């Protein structure tokens, strides 16, 4: 009995000390909901912060603190606050908070979960390589156009019957990354290709799911608990093993005078720096940089295209107006090109409004402060985790006329010409903005316009109804699944040829 009382006393004292330490930290940070010992604010909706941030914003203001277990995180809301932090104070807010989940998945290598010299080297190399990927051969635009033809053919084979667009879109988008990284595409029915595509979707979905957030809040407990999250790490190893095989194959057939893809460019750089002390160009950095590009570039672009088609069948008048612009500028017998984008203001506006309204990544990956600082009147210590709520800028009522509605006019001026908006930051802003933004924007425009050029998008059934406001959040929960029909268009209108 004495041992039990001693144990209970120990637990009580430990909780008391923990509560005291938490209270001390709370007074040093922006206000926020009261955290429970060990649990933090988990029971108050912080595992789905993209749903609860508005309530917290209204109660505590645009800068507030939530607790992920025993770790405090400062949340930034609204375009002006995000701009001030990510752009005006990019040095102080520019570091990455290394969350346990991401560290276990990436082992501390690659682009996403790094800071300092490694991050600078990997990001600089990746951005430059992606930007200059033509390398005297087919340009990135030509690769996307070629893949668009495969997608069009696959959709033609549905014969106008109902189908779920997610799988076909995922295969097309992933094949662009296959061409970039591995120098080849896979057939849509290749079983290995389909397996790795499925794993990629599950990885990204898990990271931003409530279960993934819970893992990062309680890593020591979750690491040893059985459950579906353990399968994620097994699949991650399977995917990186595939990358290693591809890298070894590239190493055996490498021609330094004729690089075929991202892997070749990295291996050439590694050979150039083989005698450089502290070089970051080695196998593990290549494996996990490929993982970063492969995962981040597949899921978000696929889901944005999937939502785009949902918008088309929800708003036939928007689809018809886009098709009229496509027919006039491009015609029916050649594929849309990037150069056409500036000549198609309404189509460009719709593509941007889809990204704004969908808000596919409502929270940027966690940042952390690099020094003690005062921000908006609050003292924020060095090393504090920071969560930029990108969605709060995309839906900021101070910057969008009708933020709750799907409205392409947000990106059109009084003359009907396209005009970008400062608060349009779906790829984040500042030092940690997405390095694949240019590729993603190119894919969205070329794939969507190519599909609308050839097909009219319709609901699977005339009785189907869709609430875009509800469905836009499905990506971060169970995923979005719906059926549609793609009816081939008749070649009745000319222009552009």
Q: Does 265 show up as a binding residue in the annotation? A: no
CA distance 305 to 232: 25
Comparing CA positions, the residue from 490, 456, 485 lying closest to residue 161 is: 485
Q: How far is CA 290 from CA 25, 92, 96, 243, 405, in A?
A: 38, 28, 19, 8, 37
Q: Is 100 exposed, middle or buried (0-12, 13-18, 19+ CB in 10 A)?
A: middle
Q: Are strands 71-76 and 63-68 parallel, antiparallel or unpaired?
A: antiparallel
State the Cα–Cα distance between residues 174 and 125, nearest whole angstrom: 21
Are the beta carbons of 395 and 403 closer than 8 angstroms?
Answer: yes
490 Ramachandran zone, left/alpha/beta (phi>0; psi -120 to 50): beta
Q: Are 92 and 371 in contact (CB under 8 A)?
A: yes
Q: How far apart are CA 145 and CA 310, in angstroms?
A: 22
Q: From CA 206, how far away is CA 233, in angstroms rounded? A: 10
Task: Considering only CA atoms, give the Rg of the chain.
Answer: 24
Q: What angle do CA 139, 145, 147 make, to 5 degrees?
A: 105
CA 423: distance to chain centroid? Answer: 17
**Binding-site residues from annotation:** 434
**Binding-site residues from annotation for heme:** 434
């Amino acid at each position: 009995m004495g041992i039990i009382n001693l144990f209970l006393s120990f637990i009580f004292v430990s909780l008391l000390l923990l509560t005291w330490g938490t209270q001390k930290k709370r007074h040093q940070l922006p206000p926020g909901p009261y955290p429970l010992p060990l649990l933090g604010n988990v029971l108050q909706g912080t595992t789905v912060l993209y749903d609860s941030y508005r309530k917290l914003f209204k109660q505590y203001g645009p800068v507030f603190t939530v607790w992920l277990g025993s770790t405090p995180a400062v949340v930034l809301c609204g375009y002006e606050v995000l701009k001030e932090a990510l752009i005006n104070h990019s040095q102080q807010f520019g570091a990455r908070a290394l969350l346990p989940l991401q560290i276990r998945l990436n082992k501390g290598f690659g682009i996403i979960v790094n800071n300092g010299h490694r991050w600078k080297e990997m990001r600089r190399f990746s951005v430059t390589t992606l930007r200059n990927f033509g390398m005297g051969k087919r340009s990135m635009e030509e690769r996307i156009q070629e893949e668009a033809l495969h997608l069009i053919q696959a959709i033609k084979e549905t014969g106008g019957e109902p189908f779920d667009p997610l799988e076909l879109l995922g295969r097309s988008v992933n094949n662009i990354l296959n061409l970039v990284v591995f120098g080849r595409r896979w057939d849509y029915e290749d079983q290995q290709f389909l397996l790795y595509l499925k794993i990629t979707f599950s990885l990204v979905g898990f990271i931003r799911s409530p279960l993934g957030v819970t893992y990062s809040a309680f890593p020591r407990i979750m690491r040893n608990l059985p459950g579906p999250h353990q399968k994620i790490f097994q699949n991650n190893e399977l995917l990186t093993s595939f990358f290693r095989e591809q890298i070894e194959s590239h190493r055996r057939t490498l021609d330094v005078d004729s690089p075929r893809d991202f892997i070749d460019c990295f291996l050439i750089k590694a050979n150039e720096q083989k005698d450089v002390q502290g070089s970051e160009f080695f196998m593990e950095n290549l494996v996990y940089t490929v993982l970063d590009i492969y995962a981040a570039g597949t899921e978000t672009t696929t889901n944005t295209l999937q939502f785009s088609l949902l918008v088309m069948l929800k708003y036939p008048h928007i689809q018809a107006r886009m098709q009229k612009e496509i027919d006039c500028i491009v015609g029916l017998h050649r594929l849309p090109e990037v150069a056409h984008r500036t000549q198609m203001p309404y189509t460009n506006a719709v593509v941007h409004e889809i990204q704004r309204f969908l808000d596919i990544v409502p929270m940027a990956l966690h940042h952390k402060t690099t020094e003690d600082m005062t921000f908006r009147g609050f003292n924020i210590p060095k090393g504090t985790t920071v969560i930029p709520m990108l969605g709060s800028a995309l839906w900021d009522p101070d910057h969008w006329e009708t933020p709750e509605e799907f409205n392409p006019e947000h990106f059109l001026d009084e003359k009907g010409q396209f005009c970008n908006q400062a608060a349009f930051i779906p790829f984040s802003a500042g030092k940690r903005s997405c390095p694949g933004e240019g590729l993603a924007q190119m894919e969205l425009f070329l794939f969507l316009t190519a599909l609308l050029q050839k097909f009219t998008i319709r609901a699977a059934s005339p009785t189907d109804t869709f609430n875009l406001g509800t469905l836009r959040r499905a990506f971060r929960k169970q995923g979005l699944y719906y059926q549609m029909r793609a009816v081939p268009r008749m070649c009745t209108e000319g222009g552009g040829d």
